[in-house]
Amino acid sequence: MEEITITTKFAVFDSTEQLPDEVKYLFEQATEIQKNAHAPYSNFRVGVAIALDNGKIVLGSNQENAAYPSGLCAERVALYQAASNFPESKILKIVITAAPQATGIPVPITPCGSCRQSIAEYEIKQESPIEIYFMGEKGKIYKSESLKNLLPLLFNKKLL
């Protein structure tokens, strides 16, 4: 038997004040769009802001549906909108905020597995890493230089 070790590395910020102005602005946009989430079942609101290389910012919020799993996570709402409206643009940064309606979450909330795989598809397609920032309603902010930190053994078309 052989064992392998996979390590990941994240930058950790104590507050948005430590972030570059561009990323602070993305967090403001993600927090604002979070209010548009349709989350009557989970009461868990997520907002996403995506910065593209053409200077555009694409926003998304989670959209739940009684006919589960017909809803869609905020990350995929924003990703698919970016790909549909700006198919030639590269994704530079994704900023994710999350908050339940009743209580504050003091820990960073990462993308779910389906969203990680979706982000991986675009990172592979554009052949360049996507910076991902994520936080809860308050507290620390994590930054990943690439989706590969969140999904190191990713599934891709080369495996088909």
Residues carrying an active site annotation? 75
d(Cα 108, Cα 110) in Å, to the nearest integer?
Answer: 6
Phi-psi region of 33 (alpha: psi -120 to 50; beta: other; left: phi over 0): alpha
* Phi, psi (rounded to 5 degrees) for 91: -85, 125
**Peptide bond preceding 69 in cis form (omega within 30 of 0):** yes
Burial of 70 (0-12, 13-18, 19+ CB in 10 A): exposed
Which of 155, 39, 41, 34 is closest to 95 using CA atoms? 34
Rounded to an integer, what distance in angstroms lies between the CA atom of residue 103 and that of residue 132? Answer: 24
If DSSP codes are grouped into helix, strand and coil, which group holds residue 120?
Answer: helix
- Give the amino acid at 88: E
Side chain identity at residue 78, one-letter code:
A
